[in-house]
Amino acid sequence: MSTLSDLVSAQGFSDDADIEWLHRLAGDGQLLADLAFADIVVWVPTADDSFVAVAHTRPSGAATLFYRDIVGDQVRPQWRTQVRDAFRTGQIVDSASPDWFEETPTRVRAVPILRTRPRNGENVAAIGVLTRHTNLGETRTPSRQQITFNDCADELFGMIAASDFPDMSAPTAPRRGAPRASDGLIRLDVDGTTTFASPNALSAFNRMGFDDELEGESLVEVITEILPDKRQFDESLPVVATGRAPWRSDIEARGVTVSLRAIPLRDHGTRIGAIVLCRDVTELRHRDQELITKDATIREIHHRVKNNLQTVASLLRIQARRTHSDEARDALTQAMRRVSAIAVVHDTLSEGLAQNVDFDDVFARVMKLVAEVAASPTTRARTRTTGEFGILPSEYATPLSLALTELVTNAVEHGLAGREGDVEISADRNETRLEVRVRDTGSGLPEGQVGRGLGTQIVRTLIQGELGGTIDWHTIMGSGTEVTIDIPLRYIAGDKS
């Protein structure tokens, strides 16, 4: 399905501010649908004097009319005139009589979407139309809550037609825990006094210790009463509690956390009250805190593992310096290098929350380590890396860094032993595979030597066994050795089917 931006841009919209306005309005589509107990559709004009749907939201507390999503569809003939009139006149247009949609009686309201902007000498311009489609097939005596919700919806529709909603100064909705109309709604008058509180809103405040009725009370005084003494609170809370600004805040009392969102209501620019949505987010906040604690614990584990590995590498380095056997010294030095390469990955993981690493950064650090360990008075190796490895999960970054450490070290210590030359590591990554080539300008691969050394066996095990890839050694015509590693990205993505 096309996104709102794609659909709007396809109709010739070039003003990013217009597109952002429509995005903000569509983001509050669920609020409008729940308050109006109706389907909400956003339309934008097309080049052929028609309209196309770019957003559609179904109500959560009423039956939907559209069982199939109509985003991307042209406006139906029975609505076209009404939608066109609302767009051209800038006035709300209601259907004169019930409209029938798939044998269901409906009532349609077309609301022009206006945005204040200086263009062609005009301050206000229509950029689309919002339609409300009410299902009349389930008509029943409305409750006081439904009447209040509908009144709030009508006031928001009036603000949309007056370019007062959405409010671009309001913060965007949080990823988790945003209050919804069904979670709890409080209606405030211009002085901040509660004129209506839904049962869910009253229950949320009861859980925080307020055991009276909210209606008739100043919301900011109620919140002040239930907040614990000497407890720090968000400085934006008074503004939210009085409904004076379109902001969000949390209140916490008696172990209960309630999220608040204020939506000021205006009539021709004059504030007449506010809607305050509230939601008990205690469990969500506890889960967020647990995730933060777990992330911190994981980072600390990686940090300690890195420290322990560096300690082991230091011990191996000390032991290598004190041994008198050249063979033992080489073995200890290689072990020290391998442990240090693994420590680099854990060090990178300890710096962030994600268990993915930027392998280009990891490999750059590993290369410095290899150059230090493999340095020799008689060998001058110039290393160069081309291409990008990209982001890799930790379970693959460790074996790949260790394998490349072995290959580059072998190229320097054996391929370029006692001479001057180059070692080039090239990475080629696309959506399906990662190919890495390690090429040196050394003496070339002796016939029959592949697979005999410990380092070669380690590389084979890491690439083939842990990464599910392939590895190939061959001598370049003239001189030098090239090793090609091919890793399928379906394994990196975790899809091992």
DSSP run (H or E) holding 57: strand 51-57
Task: Answer yes or no: is pLDDT of 72 > 50.
Answer: yes
Q: What is the pLDDT of residue 202?
A: 95
Q: How far apart are CA 251 and CA 259, in angstroms?
A: 7
Higher-pLDDT residue of 414 and 435 is 435
Instruction: Tell me the range of 81-90, 97-106, 222-231, 408-417 where mean pLDDT is highest.
Output: 81-90
Question: Would the CA dihedral through 244, 220, 171, 232 be positive or negative?
Answer: positive
Bridge partners, 423 (sequence order): 383, 440
Q: What is the pLDDT of residue 26?
A: 93
Q: What is the pLDDT of residue 89?
A: 94
Residue 65 CA neighbour count, 13 Å, CB half: 26
Provide the pLDDT confidence category of residue 139 given band limits of 50, 70 and 90: low
Higher-pLDDT residue of 374 and 66 is 66
The residue whose two tokens read 């931006």 is: 5
How far CA 266 is from CA of 151, 156, 158, 198, 245, in Å, comes to 13, 8, 9, 21, 11
Provide the pLDDT confidence category of residue 119 given band limits of 50, 70 and 90: low
SS3 411: helix
Which range has the worst mean pLDDT, 137-146, 149-158, 182-191? 137-146
Q: What is the pLDDT of residue 244?
A: 92
pLDDT digits (tens, 9 = 90+) for 144-174: 999 999 999 999 999 999 999 998 888 777 6
pLDDT digits (tens, 9 = 90+) for 378-428: 667 778 888 998 888 877 888 888 888 888 887 777 777 667 778 888 999
The percent of residues above 70 in pLDDT, for the chain, comes to 88
Task: Answer yes or no: is pLDDT of 496 > 50.
Answer: no
DSSP run (H or E) holding 303: helix 282-322
The arithmetic mean of pLDDT across residues 111-136, rounded, is 82
pLDDT digits (tens, 9 = 90+) for 257-303: 999 999 999 998 899 999 999 999 988 878 877 776 777 777 777 77
The arithmetic mean of pLDDT across residues 66-84, rounded, is 92
Query: Exposed e or buried b for every residue in 121-143, given b needs 16+ CB within 10 A?
Result: eeeebbbbbbbbbbbeeeeeeee
Instruction: Tell me the range of 65-74, 169-178, 335-344, 483-492 where mean pLDDT is highest.
Output: 65-74
Residue 444 CA neighbour count, 13 Å, CB half: 8
Question: Are 408 and 423 a contacting pair, CB within 8 Å?
Answer: yes
The two three-digit tokens of residue 358, written as one number: 């930027």
DSSP letter at 193 equals B
Amino acid at 272: I
The arithmetic mean of pLDDT across residues 350-371, rounded, is 75
Q: What pTM did the predictor assign?
A: 0.65
Mean pLDDT, the chain, as a whole number?
Answer: 84
Taking 3-state DSSP, the helix, strand and coil percentages for the chain, each rounded to the nearest 5, stand at: 40, 30, 30
Amino acid at 398: T
Q: How far apart are CA 193 and CA 272, in angstroms?
A: 12
> How long is the chain?
497
Q: What is the pLDDT of residue 215?
A: 94
Q: What is the pLDDT of residue 353?
A: 56
Q: What is the pLDDT of residue 478?
A: 60
Question: Are 397 and 389 a contacting pair, CB within 8 Å?
Answer: no
Higher-pLDDT residue of 24 and 310 is 24
pLDDT digits (tens, 9 = 90+) for 18-67: 999 999 999 999 999 999 999 999 999 999 999 999 999 999 988 888 88
